Amino acid sequence: MRAGYRATGGVARGDDLARLLEDMQRGDVSTLARLIASGEVFGFDWHGSFWVPMFQFELRDLSVKPSVRQVQRELAEAFDGWTIAVWFAQRNAWLGEERPVDLLDSQLSAVLHAARADRFMATG
- pLDDT single digits (tens) 30-66: 999 999 999 899 999 998 999 999 999 998 999 999 9
Whether residue 3 has pLDDT greater than 80: no
Alpha carbon distance 115, 100 (integer Å): 9
3-state secondary structure at position 54: helix
Residue 75 has a CB neighbour count (10 Å cut-off) of 22
pLDDT score of 55: 96
Residues 6 or more apart whose CB falls under 8 angstroms from that of 28 comprise 18, 21, 22
Sign of CA dihedral 92, 40, 124, 80: positive
pLDDT score of 5: 87
pTM over 0.85: yes
What mean pLDDT do residues 68-80 have? 93
Alpha carbon distance 103, 112 (integer Å): 10
Contact indicator for 43, 50 with CB cutoff of 8 Å: yes
Contact indicator for 1, 51 with CB cutoff of 8 Å: yes
Whether residue 1 has pLDDT greater than 80: no
pLDDT in tens, 4-32: 888 889 999 999 999 999 998 888 889 99
